[in-house]
Amino acid sequence: MIQAFLQRFARWLDRPFFPWKRLVIGFSLADFALGNWLLFRQYRVLSKASVPKALENQVDKSTFDKSQEYGRAKAKFGFVSSIFNEVKSYVILYLDAYPRIWAFTGLLLARYAPARFSGEITQSLVFVFLFSFIDLIVGLPFSYYHSFVLEEKFGFNKMTVKLWVTDMIKSQALTIAFGVPIGSAFLSIIKRTGQSFFYYLWLFMLVVQVSAITIYPILIVPLFNKLTPLKPGPLKESVEALASKLKFPLTELQVIDGSKRSSHSNAYFTGLPWKKKIVIYDTLLEKSSDKEVTAVLAHELGHWKMGHTTKLLAISQLHLFYIFSLFSVFINNNSLYESFGFHNERPVLIGFLLFNNILAPTDEMLKLLMNILTRRMEYEADDFAVQQGYTAELGASLIKLQIQNLSSMDADWLYSSFHHSHPILTERLKAMNWSADQKVKDKTDGEKADKSLDNQTPLVAADREL
């Protein structure tokens, strides 16, 4: 029934001379206009000179001013990047870059590749890697500026140029190593299963996602970072006690050397349902007390306890099924291919790329809906940590993360709705019923910090928005 409806819809959409290219360019311009209007609204908030009332006792004026300056610098960078990307997209579409590069890859294979590597699937893979490589080269100045100018200026960048280049090489190697088999299987499934391909493609991608969740912490992370067991001590005992209390299947507790790239902090858990690993960034340990780190992990384990990760995985699967089933409507759309310069060929990969351009307007609405959902989950995870008795510590950690990341202290409500998956700091503190008359203290205060916690006086700050 679903398949019959999709086929009728496909026939209705395949209209000769339909202006698909103009439609896609129009969608792109509309998205560009919306994004920069929202950025302008946020920039006005970032130009304010006074600390939000809820943070007056926690954030001094100089820190607030630096945070605002950092926010404005990122906004300007985002604006310039968006202009560049919009011009690049327009050039690609207007100059028919897709058919030109597709024809070039065909010539490359015909001239240099053995006969057994000829065919649409091989050409599609070469097309993707060549297109991605060109995109990478063109975007290098922005990547360099972001790490070695913008982040360097505000003291966050810890990378060397050598590490930056090494990371890119490793990323490209991994893209080829995993992209070739996955891409080949993706295209083969579509070719071999006819109009019902979206069912099989959806099941295949489910297997890929579950496999990635398993493989990523074991094979990928160690290629970029060093993981070491958390040393025995009060923190390890505290985390293990919390995990035991919640019946969290903790098998490993590790520290990752995030400081070699950035001073931002994080903590996360990963693994199979019956075998989990908790990873803590060394920068978080450096800036936070043991009780604050435990509070951060209580928040993260709240996500696990309430099944947030599983729910998000299920939503992503529904979204994939929707995308693949809708793609079946466009896969043989002659007018779509012809609008973009493909008059004699109908490569499946090209069809998928063009289809995604048409689908782009729904991305903003999906992002908005997902942000509403994830914000709710963040409130629930905060509340979970509060129920475990970590109100003071979690509030202090959130403030620390805000200060040391120089995260924006306030946000335009509409910009935040589209761009922030987490509520802003003042919203989270209010939801937790957290308040403090004294300024949050730093870990360097040592014993004074621990005593202030015992007396329910919140502590310092850490390094990333949870």
Q: Which residues carry out catalysis?
A: 300, 382
Measured CA distances, 153 to 163, 260, 403 (Å): 18, 17, 16
- Could you tell me which residues are beta bridge partners of residue 438? none
List the structure tokens of 243. 């995990």
**Three-point CA angle 138, 139, 141, nearest 5°:** 100
Task: Give residue for tokens 């939503």.
Answer: 315
> Measured on CA atoms in the order 160, 165, 171, 177, is the torsion positive or negative?
negative
Residue 246 CB neighbours (<10 A): 16
Pair 72, 42: CB distance under 8 Å:
no
Centre a 10 Å sphere on the Cβ of residue 439 and count the other Cβ atoms it contains: 16
Max CA separation in the chain (angstroms): 76
CA distances from 242 to 248, 293, 299, 310 (A): 8, 12, 11, 21
Position 243, amino acid: A
Query: 433 φ, ψ to 5°?
Result: 55, 35
Sheet holding 250-256, edge to edge: 227-229, 250-256, 275-281, 267-272
Cβ-Cβ contacts under 8 Å for 214 (sequence gap 6 or more): 271, 272
Q: Is 378 among the annotated ligand-binding positions?
A: yes
* Cα Rg of the chain, angstroms: 25
d(CA 292, CA 397): 6
Contact 394, 410 (CB under 8 A): no
φ/ψ bin of 59: left (φ > 0), alpha (ψ from -120 to 50), beta (otherwise): beta
Block residue for tokens 């902090």 = 265
Q: Is 22 exposed, middle or buried (0-12, 13-18, 19+ CB in 10 A)?
A: exposed
Residue in the block written with tokens 């997209």: 89
Report residue 234 CA to chain centroid gap: 33
Tokens at 425, concatenated: 């700091």
Q: Cite the annotated binding site for Zn(2+) by residue number.
A: 299, 303, 378
